[in-house]
Structure 1
Amino acid sequence: MSSLKEIDFRTVDDLVDFIRGRGYVLDFSDRTYSQFFAAELDADIDHPMYATHGGSKGKRLRRFLELADDATAARTLRALWELRSDYVGEGKDPVAGAERKYQALLARLGAAGEVPPSEPAGPAFDYEKVAALKAEVLELTAMAPQKRGYAFERFLVRLFDLFGMKPREPFRNRGEQIDGSFLLHGVTYLFEAKWQNEPTDAKDLRDFEGKLNEKAAWARGLFISHSGFSESSLETFGRGKRTICMTGLDLYEMLERSIPLNDVIDRKVRRAAEDGRPHTAVRDLF
């Protein structure tokens, strides 16, 4: 059982029901609520054991937090806070003192010493492995295009793995190809990678965004084009999307300057949230 008290559950309600009212959790539908718990917590929130207080999303969340250990309860709150932060964005938070209340909940759960730091330490920067990846990119340039495309995907999986992002290699859903996925700060990213002679056009970006829109609402996308994106394709693609973009030059700058990949993605996501543009070059971010 978690360390949360009655007053804490009222605080949780305040933090998650401000969009749709009492009994709701953020803007989840029944389907996306189930998907969230399955993907982020490997839990079946629709199980009858979580409905003993009632069947609303808010009451099932409360029962889940009651039954969870402190570490799981804290992980749940962090995942919800991440989504909540995306919803609120840079505007004024509708709940007074929301950040302070959220941190107080984590502090209570941390009193038992079972909760990891709010941001787990990433793997140590391995300069030798980074140097090996830099050499591998140069080797890719000599490959035939089709063979190079698959090798580029495998290279990226190793890159994500180096920075502790738990990559998953290419998979298919109902006939559509997804180049892979990875995790960063508890958020699932789908990614697509292209290495071709011409810059990626707006159609490829729109197609990927379409695949992303069919997935869970909290998933994000990373589109990596070694040859980059023309300015016109980015403008045609539009602003305010769930996809952020990287180029081969971004990868070169990152590896050459020994910038951790997680830092690159963090800054790209923040800049996209601020100006709506899907791509800002690494050299302009660091």
Structure 2
Amino acid sequence: MLDFSDPSFAEFFATELDVDIDDPIYAEHGGSKGKRLRCFLQKVDDATAVRTLQALWDHRAQYLAQTGQPDPVPNAEGRYLSLMAKLSGQAASGGEPPRPASDWRLLTELREQLVQIASLQPHERGYAFEAFLKRSFDMAGLTAREPFRNIGEQIDGSFLLGDETYLLEAKWHSLPTGVADLHVFHGKLEQKAAWARGLFVSYNGFTTEGLAAFGPGKRLICMDGRDIYDALERQIPLKAVLERKVRRAAETGQPFITVRDLFGQQTAGGYG
């Protein structure tokens, strides 16, 4: 259990969670720290389990940073976020089955679907990509809406992230997206309510020159095909990816920061 001794383990639970982890009720399956933790998590409600895992994850991250050790667990953060998404969904719904967004089988199915879209004819890809994104957002619990048309313009969809409404622009071009398309989409946002935000998804990414010319401080964030594939490969929930992109954009002013930069440089094969 990380760097915990028996006394420090008990102190951590008492200080962080106001729990006596040495209580015999948590030693039904054995007295080791791991067995007591598993027993505790089996007995408590989902909201308490979420608080516990969050506190342990924060301690773990601090421990790894202080020791300079690489993370020994493959996909550790993605697996942690998937588990938290399940538990948070259960806690919010009173213990109902978790949303399918964190089911690794469905994530694998989505990843394969993304790869298969690349083999379609050009005129079919755009519609298939929009349908793929709609399904991905629905599975992530983001209340996605299908493409709709206002007078003189096409919007590829919308979704809710927290309390914010995001309009979606999805492009599957053979070349990276440049500044012109970014400006066009941002112009659509500026004609909407002041609280409207945007997500621009370009399967083949964005030109460096286009992002530089577009500049910081805009009302949209960007995602490319590699981002989506990496998130699915590493079991990182889409909602967690978007939330981190939004936060980093607020901190840096940059609309596009990759999943690899947000969650670490772990490589993933099969995309391209």
Q: TM-score range by the shorter chain?
A: 0.5 to 0.7
* TM-score (norm: length of structure 1): 0.57
- TM superposition shift of 1:186: 2.1
1:146 aligns with 2:137: no
1:194 aligns with 2:158: no
1:131 aligns with 2:80: no
Instruction: Name 1:267's counterpart in structure 2.
Output: 244
1:277 aligns with 2:234: no
- TM superposition shift of 1:129: 1.2
**Which residue, out of 121, 141, 148, partners 1:164?**
141
Instruction: Name 2:206's counterpart in structure 1.
Output: 229
Instruction: Name 2:227's counterpart in structure 1.
Output: 250
1: CA distance, partners of 2:204 / 2:121:
15
Structure 1 unaligned blocks of 5 or more: 1-116
* TM-score (norm: length of structure 2): 0.60
- TM superposition shift of 1:120: 4.6
Deviates more, 1:220-229 or 1:119-128: 119-128
Matches within 5 A, 1:61-80: none
**Which residue, out of 183, 186, 189, partners 1:212?**
189
Secondary structure in 2 aligned to 1:152? helix
- TM superposition shift of 1:146: 1.4
2: CA distance, partners of 1:196 / 1:206:
17
2: CA distance, partners of 1:239 / 1:149:
28
- The alpha-carbon distance between structure 1 residues 188 and 138, as it changes in their structure 2 partners (threshold 3 A), is same
Structure 2 unaligned blocks of 5 or more: 1-88, 264-272
Cα offsets for 1:134-154 (capped at 9, x unmatched): 111111111111111110000
What is the Cα-based RMSD across aligned positions, in Å?
Answer: 1.8
Secondary structure in 1 aligned to 2:137? helix
Matches within 5 A, 1:13-92: none
2: CA distance, partners of 1:176 / 1:120:
37
Letter in 1 for 2:171: K
1: CA distance, partners of 2:120 / 2:162:
34
2: CA distance, partners of 1:174 / 1:238:
28
Instruction: Name 1:23's counterpart in structure 2.
Output: none
